[in-house]
Structure 1
Amino acid sequence: MNPIIREAKPEDRPFIEEIAKLTWDGEDYLAGVFDGWLGDNFYVMELDGKVIGTAKLTLLPGKVGWLEGLRVHPDYRGRGYGRLLHSFMLQLGKKLAQKGRIEALEFATYFLNRESISLAERTGFSVKAKFFVFSARTEDFEPEEPEKVEPSMSDLTLGLIPVGWRFVRRSGEALEWIKRNAEVYDINGFRFLVSKKGTTFTPLDVGLATLKAMLPAMAWVSRERGREEFDVMLPSGVKPLLLGLRRLGLYLWDETEEPNVLVFRKRLL
């Protein structure tokens, strides 16, 4: 029987939870965002009455269709189902572009996700930006409570701003989107942002001294959200600071001297 791709429904939750438990050692965020994604370009692949895959398109500022949540149940990988989901999302993107809602598709992936990278390159995507994602343990810092602040354009110091694993280009529209989807904190004059439910932080001032000041505040926010570990997303320009960043208590998931997060883009118009 051929699989079908359809919009996700509330009764799909048990299948989604199963896929999440079997992805990233059970650390997948999919189950946590399920309710919020329903009815918003969130699709599942069904085979013989069982949901075996997922895919999501999120509208971002700048007429970008952000691709995320592409998953295939481990028991069904290697059979081309990921390619089918990817192809379906490309067609959805083209339809939205024809309606004037988006102009390009983008997504981010880890540098060792060779299948996603190969699929992207074969379908006309190219790398537009690179970042480092580091991890840290809250126990390595003395948590310090920061002040939550209202962001302004002057806070958006990067041209491409990570908000968790989504990336938005600096603009007035992006600022308003960030206000709705993220929180900005200040600690001793240094600011950072984090998505409202996540623990992947973006420093808005990048340097060893400023990061040293911000890390205890990031640890505080992480503990408030029930997490003992957190991530920090930094632009590729920090490469010369890798040794110093490690000394601050940050570590990479896999040892590398190159950026480990790739942001892909495919223009549709």
Structure 2
Amino acid sequence: MTSFTSPIPTIRPALPRDKADVAEFTKFIWDGHDYVGEVFPRWLEDPHGILLAAEYAGKCVGCAKVSLIASGQWWLEGFRVDPKFQDKRIGSRLDAACNQWWDEHGDGMLRLMTNSKRVKVHHLSETRGFVRAGEVCAYAAEPLTKATDAFTPLQPEEAEEAAALCQRWMPNGYLNIGWKFAAPNAEAMRAALQDESLFFWWRGRKGIVSAWEDDEEDGNRFIVGMEACAGEDRVQLLEDVRRLASARGSVVLRWMNIMSESILRDLDTAGYRKDWDDAAYLYERRHS
């Protein structure tokens, strides 16, 4: 009797020929709003980090990426598995390969974010040595049409000064750069500015705001990834951000970062309301 065995998934560096497969199996993920198929070609050209693919029966059925944000700051992203092959442990193989690559080639800190309900991912991450750094959620507010002159663009040459102020105001805080988190040092800020993130001084040097913009079908969205100021000024800063969003033509304003009792209280006072059903957990692992 002839015996047939199933192919074994292979983890390897991604190749240009994987683009079509990734675009195909991601097009129905997140109700058709998955970004990975769109950015995958650009990821292939990234000279830093590693982009891995899972091959099964001659097709790419999964991918994952280790990205360099700034020196010593790395990000795990783009974990995707073709829904038709979820039973092959491809996700855990990709995760192991990414972590092994970083152990051999990386340094500093590796971070990832995952849904707060994905208990298996939490357990796997903690088994690999990741520590939960905080709980992330999004809060939204309507832009306010009243004009504001409270903000001026932050220039790349001002990043050192901005980072020093962030260290004073939020010594253990994080900079959210379009769904990637990093310590807000000068190099990370300059890298974010080059990647089209927005940084503003608030009322001279009383505070700093970082944000990015997404152009959706229903209009422009203004997403605040970090706000830094003295604690007693935060409500006023958050209210002024609502005016900044309107001035930039945004129809939706969203704040997204790690929650704390004080920030939740100030968000509520400034008119922001919870915008996600679930939260997310930020994990990090220090290189040994």
> The TM-score by the shorter chain falls in which range?
0.7 to 0.9
Q: Is the 8 A contact 1:135 1:229 kept in 2?
A: yes
Q: 2: CA distance between counterparts of 1:73 and 1:9?
A: 17
Q: Does 1:18 align with 2:63?
A: no
In 2 relative to 1, CA 204–14 (structure 1 residues): closer, same or farther, beyond 3 Å? same
User: In the alignment, is the contact (CA less than 8 A) between 2:54 and 2:94 conserved in 1?
Assistant: yes
Q: Deviations over 1:7-43 (max 9, x none)?
A: 2233322322233322222222213322321143112
Contact in 2 for aligned 1:194/1:202 (Cα 8 Å): yes
TM-score (norm 1): 0.78
TM-score (norm 2): 0.74
Q: What's 2:255 paired with?
A: 232
Please say if 1:56 is aligned against 2:80: no
Instruction: Quote the residue 2:133 is aligned against.
Output: 128
- Structure 2 residue runs of 5 or longer lacking an equivalent are 1-6, 216-221
Partners of 1:22 and 1:73 within 8 A in 2: no
Moved more, 203-212 or 145-154: 145-154
1:80 and 2:89 are equivalent in the alignment: yes
Q: Is the 8 A contact 2:139 2:254 kept in 1?
A: yes
Equivalent position amino acid for 1:72 in 2: V
User: Could you tell me whether the CA contact under 8 Å between 2:146 and 2:243 is conserved in 1?
Assistant: yes
Measure, in 2, the Cα distance between the counterparts of 1:31 and 1:176. Answer: 27
- Aligned ranges for residues 215-254 of structure 1 at < 5 Å? 215-218=242-245, 221=248, 223=250, 229=252, 231-238=254-261, 241-242=264-265, 245=268, 248-254=271-277
**Runs of 5+ consecutive residues of structure 1 not aligned to the other structure:** none
| RMSD (Å), alpha carbons | 3.1
The range that moved more, 75-84 or 195-204, is 195-204
Residues 19/204 of structure 1: CA separation in 2 closer, same or farther (3 Å cut): same
The alignment covers a number of residue pairs equal to: 255
Q: Please tell me the residue identity of whatever aligns with 1:94.
A: D
Query: For each residue in 1:25-78, what CA deviation from the matched residue of structure 2 results, as whole angstroms up to 9, or x when unmatched?
Result: 222221332232114311211211222111000113341331111111222224
Which structure has the bigger radius of gyration?
Answer: 2
Q: Quick one: which of 105, 114, 117 aligns to 1:109?
A: 114
Once structures 1 and 2 are overlaid, which stretch shifts more, 205-214 or 246-255? 246-255
CA pair 58-219 structure 1, distance change in 2 beyond 3 A: farther
Distance between the aligned counterparts of 1:216 and 1:47, measured in 2?
51
Provide the residue aligned with 2:194 in structure 1: 180
| Matching residue of 1:268 | 287
1:226-267 deviations in Å (ceiling 9; x for gaps): xx6553223322556358538724323116xxxx33221222
- SS of aligned partner of 2:228: coil
Establish whether residue 33 from structure 1 lines up as the match of residue 33 from structure 2: no
User: For residue 194 of structure 1, what is the aligned residue in structure 2?
Assistant: 211
